[in-house]
Amino acid sequence: MKKIAFYGGSFDPIHKGHLKVAQKLVELFELDEFVFIPAFHAPHKKDKKPTSAFQRYAMLCLATKDEAKIGVSKVELDLPNKPYTIETLTKLKTALPKKKIFFVMGADSWAEITTWREWEKVLTVVNIIVVTRPPIQIEFSHVTPDIQARIVDLRGKMNFELDDEDKIYITDAVSLGISSTEIRNKIREQIDGWRDDVPFEVANYIEKYKVY
């Protein structure tokens, strides 16, 4: 069975940490495909307006253009209504019945998972990969015992076998602590060094189109 991972988020902007996550997870989980899904606007972050979805999509395409197994999906951009993650995952599972699906989230998303619509269903409908990011500490007390029972802690492990059933995998295989928020702030405050944190083509795009 082919394995495909979907990484949802704002990617505002995509940075080298995001790319490193994709590359490492392709290797670690022996994925056949890794797909970034830029959110039109995260429904649980109604008070935070992101950069244009189309600009974020363009930056993702530029960042992944040379990656054979890594791509970008418009599944959330093509829908007339802003979908919740559970709706996107249900749609993907229906469209890909013969593939083992993984949904990737960062430590910050894991920390606020209980604010998501139908969060328990999100964590059980497909496999989940939670990628830790310093200095955010991973906690498990905020989820139910049933959800805790599905957790497989892979921190410190590079060799393992996947379970046949859908699980929640916690990995620290990638620990590049870069933040999109910090990048945006550096650009707006005209602080040097932000270009080092994003792919070359993305940095040029940001400057050319004055994204931030």
Which tokens belong to 110?
Answer: 């894991």
Structure tokens at 13: 């902007």
Q: Rounded CA gap, 141 and 31, in Å?
A: 30
46/151 Cα distance (integer angstroms): 29
Task: Evaluate the CA torsion angle 169, 82, 11, 178 in order and state its sign.
Answer: negative
Percent of the chain with pLDDT over 70: 94
The percentage of residues in the chain with a pLDDT greater than 90, rounded to a whole number, is 78
Which residues, 6+ apart, have CB-to-CB distance to 28 below 8 Å? 158, 171, 173
Reduced to 3 states (helix: H, G, I; strand: E, B; else coil), residue 124 is: helix
User: pLDDT for 85-117, tens place per residue?
Assistant: 999 999 999 999 999 999 999 888 999 999 999
Q: pTM (2 decimals)?
A: 0.92
